[in-house]
Copies of this chain bind each other. A is one copy, B any other.
Amino acid sequence: MTLIEPTTTVRSVPVAPTSGALHPLGIDEVAITGGVWARRQDVNGRNTLDHIEGWLEREGWLGNFDRAAAGTLPEGRRGREFSDSEVYKYLEAVAWEIARRGGDDELEARFRSIVSRVAAAQEPDGYLNTRFGRPGQEPRWSNLEWGHELYCLGHLFQAAVARVRTRPGADDGLVEIARRAADLVCEVFGEGGDERICGHAEVEVGLVELGRALGEPRYLEQARLFVERHGAGTLAEHEWGRSYYQDDVSVRETTALHGHAVRANYLASGAADVALDTGDEELLGSLERQWATTVERRTYVTGGQGSHHQDEAFGEDWELPADRAYSETCAGVSSVMFSWRLLLARGDVRYADLIERTLFNVIETSPSAEGTSFYYANTLHQRVPGAEADADTISPRAHSSLRAPWFEVSCCPPNTARTFASLAAYLATTDAAGLQLHQYAPGTIRTRLGDGREVALAVETEYPVAGAVRVRVESAASGPWTLSLRVPSWATGARLTVRPVAGETETADAAPGVASVTREFAAGDELVLELPMAPRFTRPDPRVDAVRGCVAVERGPEVFALESVDLVGTALETSDFADLRIDDTVSPRENGGRLVVALRDRLTGASAEVPLVRYHEWAERGPSQMRVWIPVVGA
């Protein structure tokens, strides 16, 4: 594994491995200034954060900390056993958001206020959880299978990382809260101590990063111990098998992600971190193979993961039902975390491909346009129009067929919030003598290459509405360096144009993978990547039974869907949704800003051109039927 040079600067990154192929760039170095992601960041900052904090108060999950401080628990404690973690994910989101805005006094005050409430609930020895350990509550660590105590702390650690990397030296106290809790975890679960693991992985990834951020090697070691203990069967047997919490087989011997999809991805992310920071090539190689198998055989066309409602788990290979696809939003978030770590480790753009697919078609699907209601699960087939969601009512997690404002298990809203607030950190990387652009959004990048040279770029694009990505060098140090642009796997026929301020413009084919230009760049030099944005049919792997005889429609990185509201006014308005077939001999085409396909009623023969909707925008127009995979005529 390539050892990257440690940087002395604190970068505003969620992930900073000590080795790997690529350096991550912080949100202080990359800014998204327009397009779909800027809009989403804006909505997230304007609406979603307020929305989340409102529900945390209203549901009493913040109040639990006050009751802990007042010594009145367990009386009046509200929420599930993991409700503390939503507060921490929210704090992480706010920490990123403050930094993204370059400071915000009002938000900073809110952040500090919540941190002080959390601080007041911490026990003298560092223990922090509102659900366990007090008289009248179950003892600490007495129910690692379901208690989520370590899981909650993992999210606390990630919040502290976000804070220390965006406001180093801030005196709010969050970092010290995390440090004291982490020290306690090492004391209780360290070598010679309690040898069990948490039933929901997350503490591993939190510990590694906190160790990186604070320069504390014990936390990495503790994370390593947790990772290695998975598969030892220290947790109790489970109705759905120990695979549910990845305690059936060691991480190293795992062949594909399995069991609960969020747990699996958090664990894989933590294991990748451990592998990177301990130089464990064997473990990293195993994780890469697990990723590849999982993506080939256990991942939806949307990037979604998890086939089962019952246990929120991966199915077997090729078990990818479209209806009741679980595809939990948080599985998408955690899948991005895992892929991002492998991308940093190896530099292979396949990982960035999956990140893009998941961002556009899972994470962006969850929140409504206003950012105040969410999908917990992201089905690919809605047979019956859902019930109108009530903006004022908490929902069971995955039952809602329309986006809901909040859930009894409400991990998804703050998980999307922290992802959007820190999204700029997932766009670009550097290595010793180059910069890699992985995701395309209008914005600016100002950073140093691995060798210390400063570069600044501006990106202009309407992607994914249009396929042109224009990268302008704003300033560059002397000497040659390499600028690399990801060519997505679907982008056969892409072209790259190099337009230097001095010299000839040159255009060449850019095959899927990476298009790189190495030269001594001058300010004003431009690279223009033209990605082919014609809509396309995607056919399923013949081993996926559930969607045999169907096609999906994609355009660029976006998956499209047929939604029944778009049948109104067509010759198919009265057709049974289950009888609609797509004529796959007629290419999908663009018409008036919509993507249109030819549909036919298999019974009446009636046909019509019908617009599709971006999957991530479905159910924004009220209850409707929807399907991503559409049966072809004759099927």
Does A240 have its Cβ within 8 Å of any Cβ on chain B? yes
Q: Chain B nearest CB: distance from A561 CB in Å?
A: 15
Given A308-B324, A383-B318, A578-B318, A399–B239 Cβ distance below 8 Å? yes
Q: Nearest CB to that of A631 among chain B residues?
A: B548
Q: For window 168-226 of chain A, which residues contact chain B by CB distance below 8 Å? A: none
Flag if B542 contacts A241 (CB, 8 Å).
no
- B318, B542, B631: the one within 8 Å of A545 (CB): B631
List residues of chain B with CB within 8 A of the CB of A620: none
Does A322 have its Cβ within 8 Å of any Cβ on chain B? yes
Does A148 have its Cβ within 8 Å of any Cβ on chain B? no
Does A515 have its Cβ within 8 Å of any Cβ on chain B? no
Q: List 6 additional A-B contacts (Cβ < 8 Å) besides A240-B396, A308-B324, A316-B323.
A: A310-B310, A315-B324, A316-B384, A317-B384, A543-B576, A548-B631
Q: Chain B nearest CB: distance from A368 CB in Å?
A: 22
27 A-B pairs with C-beta separation under 8 A: A239-B396, A239-B408, A240-B396, A241-B399, A308-B309, A308-B310, A308-B324, A309-B309, A309-B310, A316-B323, A317-B578, A318-B578, A321-B321, A321-B323, A321-B324, A381-B545, A542-B579, A542-B635, A543-B579, A545-B546, A545-B547, A545-B629, A545-B631, A546-B546, A548-B549, A548-B635, A549-B635
- B317, B321, B383, B408: the one within 8 Å of A383 (CB): B317
Does A602 have its Cβ within 8 Å of any Cβ on chain B? yes
Does A460 have its Cβ within 8 Å of any Cβ on chain B? no
List residues of chain B with CB within 8 A of the CB of A84: none
- B240, B383, B547, B602: the one within 8 Å of A542 (CB): B602
Instruction: Mark each residue of chain A from 321 to 341: 1 if its CB lies under 8 Å from any CB of chain B, else 0.
Output: 111100000000000000000
List residues of chain B with CB within 8 A of the CB of A317: 383-384, 578
Does A476 have its Cβ within 8 Å of any Cβ on chain B? no
Q: Chain B nearest CB: distance from A577 CB in Å?
A: 9
Cα(A605)–Cα(B316), bound, Å = 25
Cα(A319)–Cα(B383), bound, Å = 8
Flag if A383 contacts B316 (CB, 8 Å).
yes
Flag if A545 contacts B396 (CB, 8 Å).
no
Q: Which 10 A-B pairs have the closest CB atoms?
A: A239-B396, A310-B310, A543-B578, A316-B383, A548-B549, A309-B310, A549-B549, A548-B548, A316-B384, A321-B321
Q: Chain B nearest CB: distance from A259 CB in Å?
A: 13
Given A240-B396, A240-B399, A631-B548, A319–B323 Cβ distance below 8 Å? yes
Does A550 have its Cβ within 8 Å of any Cβ on chain B? yes
Q: Chain B nearest CB: distance from A323 CB in Å?
A: 6
Q: For window 283-332 of chain A, which residues contact chain B by CB distance below 8 Å? A: 308-310, 315-319, 321-324
Q: For window 236-288 of chain A, which residues contact chain B by CB distance below 8 Å? A: 239-241
List residues of chain B with CB within 8 A of the CB of A550: 545, 548
Cα(A602)–Cα(B548), bound, Å = 14
Cα(A241)–Cα(B381), bound, Å = 19
List residues of chain B with CB within 8 A of the CB of A381: 545
List residues of chain B with CB within 8 A of the CB of A547: 545
Q: For window 620-635 of chain A, which residues contact chain B by CB distance below 8 Å? A: 629, 631, 635
Cα(A384)–Cα(B397), bound, Å = 29
List residues of chain B with CB within 8 A of the CB of A324: 308, 315, 319, 321
List residues of chain B with CB within 8 A of the CB of A545: 322-323, 381, 546-547, 550, 629, 631
List residues of chain B with CB within 8 A of the CB of A308: 309-310, 324
Cα(A321)–Cα(B547), bound, Å = 11
Q: Which of A310, A550, A631 has the most chain B CB atoms closer than 10 A to its own CB?
A: A310
Cα(A549)–Cα(B550), bound, Å = 10
List residues of chain B with CB within 8 A of the CB of A323: 315-316, 319, 321, 545
Q: Nearest CB to that of A239 among chain B residues?
A: B396
Q: Nearest CB to that of A383 among chain B residues?
A: B316
- B241, B542, B546, B602: the one within 8 Å of A321 (CB): B546
Q: Chain B nearest CB: distance from A372 CB in Å?
A: 22
List residues of chain B with CB within 8 A of the CB of A579: 542-543
Cα(A384)–Cα(B318), bound, Å = 11
Cα(A308)–Cα(B240), bound, Å = 15
Q: Nearest CB to that of A322 among chain B residues?
A: B545
Cα(A578)–Cα(B319), bound, Å = 11
Q: Chain B nearest CB: distance from A464 CB in Å?
A: 28
Cα(A579)–Cα(B576), bound, Å = 32
List residues of chain B with CB within 8 A of the CB of A383: 316-319
Q: Nearest CB to that of A577 among chain B residues?
A: B543
Instruction: Mark each residue of chain A from 363 to 393: 1 if its CB lies under 8 Å from any CB of chain B, else 0.
Output: 0000000000000000001011000000000
Cα(A318)–Cα(B324), bound, Å = 13
List residues of chain B with CB within 8 A of the CB of A542: 579, 602, 631, 635
List residues of chain B with CB within 8 A of the CB of A578: 317-318, 543
Q: Chain B nearest CB: distance from A245 CB in Å?
A: 15
